[in-house]
Amino acid sequence: MIKSPAIEIIKTFSKDEFKRFAEFTESPYFNKNSNLLKAVKYFKKISPEFRRMI
């Protein structure tokens, strides 16, 4: 089980909210952190399983 304040917040996102969050983090204008981008891409890839894992 993953325990993190950020993960706890992401778990509350609806499908549309997560999509918009991913679009926001993928924007080079708003996000300069490559690790965040990698994490969001990973969560997008496992999206259906993500909620069950946590």
- Residue 11 CB contacts under 8 Å (≥ 6 apart), including other chains: 51, 54
> Tokens 């996102």, residue?
13
Number of domains in the chain: 1
Give the model's pLDDT for residue 53.
54
> pLDDT digit string (tens) for 1-54?
567 888 888 888 888 888 898 899 888 898 888 888 888 888 888 776 665 554
Q: Which domain holds residue 44?
A: 5-53
Amino acid at 13: F
Give the model's pLDDT for residue 51.
58
- Residue 7 CB contacts under 8 Å (≥ 6 apart), including other chains: 54
Query: What is the gyration radius of the CA atoms in the chain, in angstroms?
Result: 11
